[in-house]
Structure 1
Amino acid sequence: MSETGLMATAPLDGFAFSGDGISVEAVEDLAIVAVSVPGDGQAALGEALQAGYDLEWPGTGRSSGERTRLIGLSPDQAFLIFRHDGHGAEAVVAGKLGETAYLFDQSDAWAVLRMEGARCRAALERICMLDLDDAAFPEGAPAARRWSTFRSSCCARGRRAGC
């Protein structure tokens, strides 16, 4: 039997960059769990989200929550993003939502980047087709886009100079 084994690693494995008025770093202590509404279960899921996370279903193109954020991807699907280091994120959510939703752990399929600095808006404008004006992309607003061959979702958090 081989002594070679598989080791789980974060998608960006500790990536960080700082220079030219921008800093970018991988945020690796977050879980991303896709939450889907089963059939006509919107009301039951809404009650479970309220009881378990004090969150409301945000609707497509919106988000709700602060420390735990629910990002609406479509009328019946959202990403639940919360602090969690390691495996078992889906079980954590199932413990609060029960069987009111279909859950899929996406933590190792997506990466989260934090961008800050005076030139982060200029950097984003070069790589994604988003209107980054505060009126069009307010804090908490999510947007899904394709960057080259990568699918991405952006969420404006905490406005600072340049972003």
Structure 2
Amino acid sequence: MEQKHTISILVNDEPGVLARVANLMGQRGFNIDSITVGQSEEKGLSRMTIVTSADERMLEQVIKQFHKLIDVYKVTHLSQAAFVGRELALIKVEANPATRSEINGIIDPFRASIVDVSPTSLIIQVTGDSDKNDALIELLKPYGIKELSRTGVTAISRGAAFARV
């Protein structure tokens, strides 16, 4: 049975590495639900966080293929242990002076914030797991979402736990 998996990959910080990782996933028939890439704690290395759906056997095969890529230093299947994963969403929603207080009441329990105000819209920033962000987006739809931008998940293992593959 397919389920979502979060994988962290430590790679050389060089041009073309992201393309090679994405190409490998495409060749194996994997869809990338989200991917984020940024500097890691080690100079010259970047950390990729990939969320994909697969059964255990298929996932094991793609992880083995990651290890074969020359630019890959370490692959961690974060979903095997406790981890913290977050994404950022920026939501531009239609808002007039009459609806602003309503929208403020909706976003407050989500610990979201208004980061831009114009005469006809608000830009709301929310950080959290994908389900939390999805829930806020659903609640804001009746007001009219003009634009939506999401970062994808970035994640790290909890505490001393380290699920290495």
Structure 1 and Structure 2 fold alike (TM over 0.5): no
Q: TM-score, normalised by structure 2?
A: 0.42
Identify the structure with the greater helix proportion: 2
Larger Rg: 2
Q: TM-score, normalised by structure 1?
A: 0.42
Identify the structure with the greater strand proportion: 2
